[in-house]
């Protein structure tokens, strides 16, 4: 006795499914999918660019915070160990004489005499101005004075000197190294402080 199984209905069903799967997308569907893809890509790219600029600006501000801290700490250390202080050059330099009568000098240098170009605006310290081999040490960079304001001025005639300058802000300096990172913008720090020697008299 033989058992006969007819498979024809299954073949017809599989043929119909194959024909349905081979149906392509219509032109409208392709246009909609492409438009959505472009919008999503543009959104992702725009967000990435924005976050990139934000992170660069944040990093730039962090750098200037570090520069500011280093510069003001260097200046404060020299002043605190002095017994005599004298401001010179219209407030752009400061002589500090210690208890061994060795005079050092902190001074602002602007190579091109343009405060707006920050790449060559620096603060230096010479530990002994009488020694011929005393090499200036850079203690600050990207520095600019406030308009019509001395960097160094006497806070009072008996105890302290006030220090005011700005570090950073590339708006007027297209050639600055950090300008390539962030583009023009107000990344920078205003530095203000007052320091006095522990045992001093001012001239």
Q: Which residue has the higher pLDDT, 36 or 79?
A: 79
Q: Answer yes or no: is pLDDT of 55 > 90.
A: no
CA separation for the pair 164, 162 (Å, rounded): 7
Structural element, H or E, at residue 144: strand 143-144
CA separation for the pair 187, 199 (Å, rounded): 38
Long-range contacts formed by 107-113: CB under 8 A, 24+ apart = 108/143, 108/145, 108/151, 108/165
CA separation for the pair 107, 199 (Å, rounded): 22
pTM over 0.85: no
CA separation for the pair 99, 200 (Å, rounded): 9
182: closest CA among 198, 197, 167, 170?
Answer: 170
What value does the mean pLDDT take over residues 182-191?
Answer: 66
CA separation for the pair 141, 139 (Å, rounded): 7
Segment among 92-96, 137-141, 178-182, 190-194 with least mean pLDDT:
178-182
CA separation for the pair 100, 75 (Å, rounded): 19
**Percent of the chain residues past pLDDT 90, beyond the cut:** 20
Q: Which residue has the tokens 């959104």?
A: 43
């Amino acid at each position: 006795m033989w058992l006969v199984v007819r498979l024809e209905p299954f073949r017809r069903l599989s043929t119909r499914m194959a024909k349905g799967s081979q149906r392509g997308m219509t032109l409208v569907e392709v246009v909609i999918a492409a438009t959505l893809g472009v919008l999503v890509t543009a959104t992702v790219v725009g967000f990435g660019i924005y976050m990139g600029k934000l992170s660069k600006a944040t990093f730039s501000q962090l750098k200037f915070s570090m520069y500011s801290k280093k510069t003001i700490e260097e200046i404060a250390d020299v002043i605190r160990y002095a017994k005599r202080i004298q401001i010179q050059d219209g407030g752009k330099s400061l002589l500090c004489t210690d208890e061994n009568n060795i005079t050092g000098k902190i001074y602002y240098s602007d190579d091109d005499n343009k405060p707006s170009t920050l790449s060559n605006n620096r603060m230096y310290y010479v530990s002994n101005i009488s020694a011929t081999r005393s090499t200036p040490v850079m203690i600050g960079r990207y520095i600019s004075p406030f308009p019509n304001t001395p960097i160094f001025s006497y806070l009072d005639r008996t105890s302290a000197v006030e220090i005011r300058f700005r570090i950073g802000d590339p708006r007027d300096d297209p050639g600055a190294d950090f300008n390539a990172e962030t583009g023009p913008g107000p990344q920078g720090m205003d530095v203000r402080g007052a320091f006095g020697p522990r045992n001093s008299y001012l001239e």
